[in-house]
Amino acid sequence: MRTLLLGGTGLIGRPVCDALIAAGHDVTVLSRGTRAVPEATHVFNADRHDPTALRRALEGQRFDLTVDLLAYDGAQVSQLFAVPRFSPGRLLMISTGQVYLVTDRPPPHREEDFDAPEIDEPEPETRAWHNWKYGVGKREAERTLRREASARAIEAMALRVPVVQGESDGATTQRLWAWIERIMDGGPVLLPDHGEQRLRFAYAKDIADAIVSLSRRSSWEGLAALNVAQPNECTLRALVEAIARCVGRAPEWVPVSGEALDSAGIPKDFIPYWGRYFSRPDPTRAITQLGLALHDEDAWLPSIVRAHLSDDPSTRPPRSHEGYVHRPSELALAARLAQSRPAP
């Protein structure tokens, strides 16, 4: 099967590329050339978001399957379909659980919740607005994908995933590193809202295996969109306690409110996995109807933590998380909160 992978080989792309090659696909990667790709692939050096470069690379090309990791709005999907004589074959787009968070439905979300009414636009340039804009953009990308694919009588699907975890996260997003770094420095660790935030992740290799499984299906009829995520939810506290066990530490956990963080001048943007805009898509359909193998954090977290602490530059974080600059303020706040707690 001749397969096109749009988006290089980052956190999701590398496991997807490796899984497709292992499954016997003849893989072509379109990327800007900033990361190494497996030797078994063909490479088109082009920017997915540059319409001219996209056309130059793909004009007249034909594939059996296209996996698009980098379509963020409807215009980018239209640009792909506008490439002359380009035939994508079946087209699978990586979407996000954030398409649900801009609706009025509470989590966890099923696929049909996509059709719920959208919430009002938040105040521009706020944290909420940037998250809202991302979710709305992905919703338009999905709608455009359906429309363009239907007009050409090809099959297309959107895979909706929450925050993705993978062994290369330390060299890319550094979200998990933000917690590992604090746990390992020996000081107390602030837990917003007692760590009660409910979480659901997607493991990058599960996404890759899901794509291979879907590529083998004879038809995607009735599968315009599919949630791919871990089967069960955990809490933020359960996650960070598991991280601490992986690194052999037992830090003091200090519950803290959002108001206390504001008063201390600690930006909430630098606290991963906390806040309203953390999606929790329900993968029941993927598991029960399609039999996809999806795993909870106890199956993948130890491997990912080890990758963060290894000497491999492709997985080890190159620097501190950007929010770590506020660590002195966090420690000062933890000390004040400890003093204010009543004696046992």
Segment 64-92 mean pLDDT: 97
314 burial (CB, 10 Å; 0-12 / 13-18 / 19+) is: middle
pLDDT at 7: 85
- Whole-number mean pLDDT of the chain? 94
Say whether pLDDT at 167 is over 70.
yes
Residue 309 located in a structural domain? no
What pLDDT shows up at residue 250? 96
d(CA 67, CA 1): 13
Is the pLDDT at 171 greater than 90, yes or no? no
CATH number for the domain that contains residue 140: 3.40.50.720
In-domain check, residue 101: yes
Q: By the 8 A CB rule, do 226 and 287 touch?
A: no
- Residue 269: the pLDDT is 83
Pairing of strands 189-192, 202-203: unpaired
Is residue 332 situated within a structural domain? Answer: no
Kindly tell me the number of DSSP H helices and DSSP E strands found in the chain: 12, 13
- The answer to the question of residue 336 being in a domain is no
Residue 341 reports pLDDT greater than 70: no
Q: Which is more confidently placed, 250 or 34?
A: 250
As a whole number, mean pLDDT of residues 60-72 equals 96
pTM of the model: 0.95
pLDDT of 344 strictly over 60: no
Rounded distance between C-alpha atoms, residue 174 and residue 196, angstroms: 22
SS3 164: strand
The yes-or-no verdict on residue 188 having pLDDT over 60 is: yes
Tokens of 260: 């206390």
Judge contact between 30 and 58, C-beta under 8 A.
yes
Within a domain: 57: yes
For the residues 63-88, what does the mean pLDDT come to? Answer: 97
pLDDT tens readout for residues 10-59 = 899 999 999 999 999 999 999 887 667 777 788 898 999 999 999 999 99
Type of residue found at 198: R
Q: Which helix (H) or strand (E) holds 214?
A: helix 204-216
CA 104 – CA 188 distance, rounded (Å): 37
Residue 208 is assigned to a structural domain of this protein: yes
Which pLDDT band holds residue 340 (cuts at 50, 70, 90)?
confident
pLDDT tens, residue by residue, 98-133? 999 999 999 999 999 999 999 999 999 988 999 999
With 70 as the cut, is the pLDDT of residue 342 above it? Answer: no
Please compute the mean of the pLDDT values over residues 301-314 and round it to a whole number: 94
242, part of any domain: no
Place of tokens 């052999």: 248
**Chain length of the chain:** 344
Mean pLDDT in residue range 202-212: 98
Contact 301, 246 (CB under 8 A): yes
Higher pLDDT, 268 or 251: 251
One DSSP character per residue, 222-267 reads T-SEEE---SS-EEHHHHHHHHHHHTT--PPEEEE-HHHHHHTT--
> Residue 170 has what DSSP assignment?
G
Domain around 58:
2-168+200-233+278-296
The phi and psi torsions of 239 (rounded to 5 degrees) equal -65, -50
Q: How many domains does the chain have?
A: 1
- Strand runs labelled E in the chain: 2-6, 26-31, 42-45, 65-68, 90-96, 156-161, 164-165, 189-192, 198-199, 202-203, 225-227, 234-235, 253-256
Element containing residue 272 per DSSP (H, E): none
The per-residue pLDDT for range 252-294, each reduced to its tens digit, is 999 999 999 999 999 988 899 999 899 999 999 999 999 999 9
Other CB atoms within 10 Å distance of the CB of residue 173: 19
Strand order, beta sheet including 65-68: 42-45, 26-31, 2-6, 65-68, 90-96, 156-161, 225-227
Domain membership of residue 339 (yes or no) is no
**Alpha-carbon span 157 to 226, nearest angstrom:** 8
The string over 79-115, giving b where at least 16 C-beta atoms fall within 10 Å of a residue's C-beta and e elsewhere, is bbbebeebebbbbbbbbbbbbbbbbebebbbebebbe
